[in-house]
Amino acid sequence: MLRIAIPNKGTLSGPATRMLREAGYAQRTDDRDLVCRDEANEVEFFYLRPRDIATYVGSGDLDLGITGRDLLVDAAIPAEEVLDLDFGAATFRFAAPAGTISKVEEIDGRRVATAYPGVVARYLDEHGLTASVVRLDGAVENAVRLGVADIVADVVSTGATLRQAGLAIVGEPILRSSAVLIRRVDAPAGGHQVDQLIRRLQGVLVARKYVMLAYDVRADLLERATALTPGIESPTISPLHREGWVAVQAMVTRAEMHRIMDELYDLGARAILVTDIHACRL
């Protein structure tokens, strides 16, 4: 059985479970369950704190895990990203009371409060800065007003928490994070179940990102139409009963579909239809 760590709570928990369900795996039905065996796929899921997931995978006790890139970096263990899962996006940033620290270089010699000391230490090291890192568990935005630190380094999503605490962002993001599938660096080739998991998750990513576009167009406009819809490999062209017309099918990104539909219509294409992709293996 393949053993995989999944976040049991927090921001990444729901989306991770949904993605695995979409990929055809059994998931727990009760939030308090800590283990779920998927006999059919020969996989066992362990529900753990996202911060601990890197530890279990890094030690080799679990084969794979889903956690945040920032938590993986913070753990500084021998595990690596296998796949970016495209959810749980956040930046990791420095922030200080407006009008105090405005440039990253000014951090030198100051006190930085964070729940991610490993991420901060790596950044300071890479930028030749020295600062004393105050490790907190959460609610780090309070640290400056309580006098524990001069600057904080924390996860920023909407920025609302920072604003409410009267803090302003300092410098560029230290890290751009999202949920990732991780694996031990020197893990032996995982065999069939690992390959299958990766392929299925890639299938979910593609199904979420792309739609299937179909339309009819005059054959003499086909080159111009397919330039708008090149597809991933190549568009499918089928003959139509109507003389001089063809039907085209191609995948396009969800983000671009309306622009492409408008341009196809202007070109003379008709019966332009979009359908969702529920699953795929490319």
Ligand X SMILES: O=P(O)(O)OC[C@H]1O[C@H](OP(=O)(O)OP(=O)(O)O)[C@H](O)[C@@H]1O
Ligand Y SMILES: Nc1ncnc2c1ncn2[C@@H]1O[C@H](COP(=O)(O)OP(=O)(O)OP(=O)(O)O)[C@@H](O)[C@H]1O
Spatial separation of the C-alpha atoms in residues 18 and 27, rounded to whole Å: 8
Structure letter (DSSP) for residue 60 = T
Cβ proximity to ligand Y, 177 vs 229, nearer residue: 177
Q: In this chain, which of 70, 141, 150, 216 binds ligand Y, going by CB under 6 A?
A: 70
CB of 11 to ligand X, least distance (A): 7
Q: Which positions from 59 through 118 interact with ligand X, judged by CB under 6 A?
A: none
Q: Which positions from 107 through 146 interact with ligand X, judged by CB under 6 A?
A: 138-139, 141
* Binding span for ligand Y by CB under 6 A among 9-17, 32-40, 99-107, 143-151: 9-17
Q: In this chain, which of 27, 100, 142, 161 binds ligand X, going by CB under 6 A?
A: 161
CB of 83 to ligand Y, least distance (A): 15
Cβ proximity to ligand Y, 157 vs 236, nearer residue: 157
**In the chain, which ranges are continuous DSSP H helix?**
13-22, 50-58, 69-75, 117-126, 160-164, 192-209, 222-228, 257-267
Q: In this chain, which of 78, 117, 159, 171 binds ligand X, going by CB under 6 A?
A: 159
Residue 12: name its binding partner from ligand Y, ligand X, none (Cβ under 5 to 8 Å by kind). ligand Y
Among candidates 251, 261, 266, 219, which has minimal Cα distance to 238? 219
| Cβ atoms of residues 1 and 42 within 8 Å | yes
Cβ proximity to ligand X, 161 vs 226, nearer residue: 161
CA 81, 85, 88, 89 dihedral sign is positive
Give how far Cα 48 sits from Cα of 9, 69, 143, Å.
Answer: 8, 16, 28
* Binding span for ligand X by CB under 6 A among 31-39, 117-125, 149-157, 193-201: 149-157
Backbone φ, ψ for residue 148 (5° rounding): -80, -25
Cβ proximity to ligand Y, 88 vs 118, nearer residue: 88
CB closest to ligand Y, residue no: 68
Residue 139: name its binding partner from ligand X, ligand Y, none (Cβ under 5 to 8 Å by kind). ligand X
CB of 238 to ligand Y, least distance (A): 44
Backbone φ, ψ for residue 235 (5° rounding): -70, 150
The two structure tokens encoding residue 35? 């283990």
Give how far Cα 236 sits from Cα of 215, 222, 246, Å.
Answer: 11, 11, 10
Interaction of residue 14 with ligand X, rule CB under 6 A: no
Total residues binding ligand Y (CB under 6 A): 16
Three-state SS annotation for 4-34: EEEECCCCCHHHHHHHHHHCCCCCCCCCCCC
Residue numbers at the binding site for ligand X (CB under 6 A)? 138-139, 141, 154-161
Residue numbers at the binding site for ligand Y (CB under 6 A)? 7, 9-12, 50-51, 68, 70-71, 88, 90, 138, 155, 157, 177
